[in-house]
Amino acid sequence: MSTDVKIPQAEVETLHTNGKGVKLPIYMDNHATTQMDPRVLEEMLPYFMEKFGNAASRNHSFGWAAEEGVETARERIAKLVGATTKEIIFTSGATESDNLAIKGVAEMYREKGNHIITAVTEHKAVLDTCKRLEKYGYRVTYMPVQKDGLIDLDDLKRAMDDKTILVSIMFANNEIGVLQPVAEIGKLCHERGVIFHTDATQAIGKVPVDVIKQNIDLASISGHKMYGPKGVGALYVRRKNPRVQISAIIDGGGHERGMRSGTLNVPSIVGLGKACAIAQEDMPQESCRLAGLRNRLRDRIMGRLDEAYINGSTEHRLPGNLNISFAYVEGESLLMGINDIAVSSGSACTSATLEPSYVLKALGTGDDLAHSSIRFGIGRFNTEAEVDYVADRVIETVERLRELSPLYEMAKEGINLKDVKWAGEAH
Amino acid sequence: MSYSDKVIDHYNNPRNVGSMDKQSTDVGTGLVGAPECGDVMKLQIKVNPQTNVIEDAKFKTFGCGSAIASSSLATEWVKGKTVDEALAIKNMDIVKELSLPPVKIHCSVLAEDAIRAAIGDWKKKQEAPKPVAAEAK
């Protein structure tokens, strides 16, 4: 029984080096966004002040120089995913790519059918787009996932009918890092003559993506998730076996083979290309290093704390992702206690509402455990020292908050919290 | 999400964390909230049976920083007050003291509920028939 508990809190200054050799604050939220790689910035710079031409200006060297930068980037992106350059179009980001892929297919193939299949754990860019299409009369099936976060292929098979025109399942989940069996999904779709789109935002540059081997017809790509610039992305659109066509959602000049009008954001496109080139080279080594760091973080935390649960498959997972629920400790208070570390609780995208994560709910996680979850995203610039520091701070904060928690106390007394009649109203 | 200095202070240095003997007739226990909502507060008071003064208070909370601060503050405020004086504590007093934003007002409401629940529990114990002394022969 302690009163007036005083725990020293690490000071949060903009740049503070503690005795353990880490600079604070630490960024470990690489699924939300990533720091730009200095090599990417260097590649982009000439395109602001010197090679500043409009890539569509066909008649002078300013335009040609810009176009050259764009086409080099296009090649690099195509190479990373196993596509041809004609199959890569540039967008403002993965959200636009998702919109373009789904709406583009829906409109183009509406004579063929009006049924779309996706999953409940998709990013809002996919889910909200599907909701809008439902308003226009399309039928959407939102497939559930299993406890480990993976789609059941038999369920998918059963969900398809003769009006199905599109399946959209993300390659890697942004919250729990789970990797879907995309090659099998693609194969199934091709057998049925259904187009397969995957939001590959979190996967590109982290795990191998091969549109041919993995039977992918459309893939969304984002720059700022792979140490490239924000505000730029790409969409892979298959041209052979089968040829996929999409209606544009932005009109105005017919750029990008008529699929996406608008003057190209040349510097950012160049940056995206460079980010892909770096990933192509560094991926094998980097994913190994990140998995090692992630496992170190996981083992250190799980080794010290009881009743900590990893959300999502441990086997089919992005190397740098970890998502843990700490029973009896509320997520926002946990974040407050580790305020010199940048991570997320629940989905970063819905953090404004502080609603419990819908992805965790889809796994069958209870609301209280969903509220108690932390997502760690280890990235290129994280070090082992940072991982150790983060682990220790999380452990000490969870332990401290459990001392404050009536739920932990009740659990230790042997009370089953599910049997308790709570005074509070249900959500 | 920026917290006031007072909320941060209560979070880092919570007052009166702990538990009292639930069985004691001098102790009132209030347990409010629900885990699914992300807020559960347990507030306990020890009341002097002669003076009805709250001599000690303890709390435990599962919830965000504002919830922890609200309940910590509640234990500070009830100490030294009589039971009736403590019943006069209103959630808006807590909101003002901690500068809680609108989205966190419900934390102060829960703290007020916890105080009332603890006092209610203590009062119920006072009304229960006291053990009768064995009749002297």
Reported residue count of chain B is 137
Residue of chain A whose alpha carbon sits nearest to that of B29: A406
**Which residue does chain B place closest to A400, by CA atoms?**
B12
pLDDT band at A18 (very low <50, low <70, confident <90, very high): low
Q: How confident is the model at residue A11 (pLDDT cuts 50, 70, 90)?
A: very low
Residue A418 banded pLDDT, cuts 50, 70, 90: confident
Q: Which domain holds residue B67?
A: 5-123
Across residues A331-351, what is the average pLDDT?
78
Q: What is the CATH number of domain A39-279?
A: 3.40.640.10
Given pLDDT bands bounded at 50, 70 and 90, which one contains residue A356?
confident
Average pLDDT, chain A: 92
pLDDT category at A67 given cuts 50, 70, 90 is very high
Question: pTM for this one?
Answer: 0.90
Report whether pLDDT(A216) > 50: yes
Contact call for B62 and A328, based on CB within 8 A: yes
- Looking at the complex, report in whole angstroms how far the Cα of residue B137 sits from the nearest Cα belonging to chain A: 44
Residue A14 reports pLDDT greater than 80? no
Give the residues across from A302 on adjacent strands. none
Homologous superfamily (CATH) for A16-36+283-413? Aspartate Aminotransferase, domain 1 (3.90.1150.10)
Residue B137 lies in a domain: no
For residue B128, is it within any domain?
no
Question: How wide is the angle at C-alpha A211 spanned by C-alphas A280 and A253, nearest 5°?
Answer: 95
Q: Residue B110 falls within a domain, yes or no? A: yes
B5 close to A (CB below 8 A): no
Cβ separation A426–B60 shorter than 8 A: no
Asked if B17 lies within 8 A of A5 by C-beta distance, the reply is yes
- More confidently predicted of A367 and A400: A400
3-state secondary structure of A333: helix
Burial (CB < 10 A; 0-12, 13-18, 19+), residue A12, is: exposed
d(CA A230, CA A233): 8
pLDDT grade for A331, boundaries at 50, 70 and 90:
confident
Are the Cβ atoms of B17 and A3 closer than 8 angstroms? Answer: yes
Q: For an interface test with B, give the residue of A328, A333, A365, A420 to mutate (most B CBs within 10 A).
A: A333
Both structure tokens of A243: 């040829």
What are the chain B neighbours of A422 within 8 Å (beta carbons)? 33-35, 40
pLDDT for the residue numbered A348:
37
Give the model's pLDDT for residue A420: 87
Q: Beta partners for B73?
A: none
Residue A377's contacts (CB-CB under 8 Å, 6 or more residues apart) are A28, A29, A30, A31, A32, A320, A321, A343, A344
| CB contacts, 8 Å: B39 with chain A | 330, 424
Is B60's CB within 8 Å of A404's CB?
yes
Average pLDDT along chain B, 137 residues, taken 10 residues at a time:
87 95 95 88 96 96 94 97 96 96 91 97 86 56
At residue A181, the pLDDT reads: 98
Residue ranges per structural domain of chain A: 16-36+283-413, 39-279
Task: Report the residue of B21, B27, B36, B107 to disrupt the A interface, i.e. the one with the largest count of A CBs within 10 Å.
Answer: B36
Tens of pLDDT, residue by residue over A106-140, are: 999 999 999 999 999 999 999 999 999 999 999 99
Yes or no, beta carbons of B13 and A5 under 8 Å apart:
yes
For the cut 90, the answer to whether the pLDDT of residue A215 exceeds it is: yes
Q: Where are the alpha helices (DSSP H) in A262-366?
A: 266-304, 331-337, 358-362
Cα Rg of chain B, angstroms: 16
Q: Which residue of B has its CA nearest to A427?
A: B37
Tokens of B82: 């009589």
CA dist list (Å): A2 to A84, A101, A259, A335, A403: 66, 58, 65, 23, 9
SS3 per-residue string spanning chain B: CCCCHHHHHHHHCCCCECCCCCCCCCEEEEEEEEHHHCEEEEEEEEECCCCCEEEEEEEEEECCHHHHHHHHHHHHHHCCCEHHHHHCCCHHHHHHHHCCCHHHHHHHHHHHHHHHHHHHHHHHHHHCCCCCCCCCC
Q: What is the pLDDT of residue A422?
A: 87
For residue A16, what is the enclosing H or E element? Answer: strand A16-17
From the list A43, A23, A27, the residue with the least C-alpha distance to A35 is A27
Distance between first and last Cα of chain B? 70
pLDDT at A34 over 90: yes
pLDDT tier, A351 (very low <50, low <70, confident <90, very high otherwise): low
B37 contacts A425? CB cut-off 8 A: yes
Residues of A with CB under 8 A from a CB of B: 1-7, 9, 328-330, 332-333, 336-337, 356, 366-368, 371, 403-409, 417, 422-427
CA distance A261 to A281: 32
CB pairs under 8 A between A and B: 105
Domain membership of residue B135 (yes or no) is no
Whether the per-residue pLDDT at A12 is higher than 50: the answer is no
CATH code, domain with B22: 3.90.1010.10
Residue A168, pLDDT score: 98
CB atoms within 10 A of CB A143: 19
Residue B81 resides in a domain? yes
Band (A234; pLDDT cuts 50, 70, 90): very high
What per-residue confidence (pLDDT) applies to A71?
A: 98
CA atoms within 13 A on the CB side of A136: 13
CA distances in angstroms from A5 to A142, A158, A403, B69, B79, listed in the order given: 48, 57, 10, 13, 18
Nearest to A377 by CA among A301, A308, A319: A319
Residues of A in contact with B64 (CB under 8 A): 330, 332-333, 336
Q: Which residues of B are catalytic?
A: 37, 107
